[in-house]
Amino acid sequence: MTYRTAIIGGTMRLAGSPGKAVGAEELATPFGRASHAAEYPGADTIFVNRHGAGGEFLAHRVNYRANMHFLKRCGVREALAVFAVGGIDRTLADGDFAIPHDLIDYTWGREHTFAPEEGVRHIEFGEPFDASVRARIRQAAGRAGIAVRDGGVYGVTQGPRLETPAEIDRMERDGCTLVGMTAMPEAALARELGIAYAGVCVVVNPAAGRGTGAIDGADIRGVIARSEEPLARLVAEFLEGGG
Q: Write out the residues near ligand HPA by the rule CB under 6 A.
A: 84-86, 157, 162-163, 179-181, 204-205, 207
Identify which of residues 165 and 241 has a Cβ nearer to ligand HPA in the complex: 165
Q: How far apart are CA 64 and CA 110, in angstroms?
A: 9
Nearer to ligand HPA, 132 or 164 (CB): 164
12: Cβ contacts below 8 Å, ≥ 6 apart = 82, 83, 84, 202, 224, 227, 228, 231
Contact 168, 207 (CB under 8 A): yes
- Least Å from the CB of residue 18 to ligand HPA: 21
- Least separation in angstroms between CB 41 and ligand HPA: 28
Nearer to ligand HPA, 87 or 230 (CB): 87
* Residues paired with 201 in a beta bridge: 83, 98
CB 64 within 8 A of CB 116: no
Nearest approach, Cβ of residue 177 and ligand HPA (Å)? 12
- Least Å distance, CB 34 to ligand HPA, is 22
> Of 88 and 236, which CB lies nearer to ligand HPA in the complex structure?
88
- Helix (H/G/I), strand (E/B), else coil: 229: helix
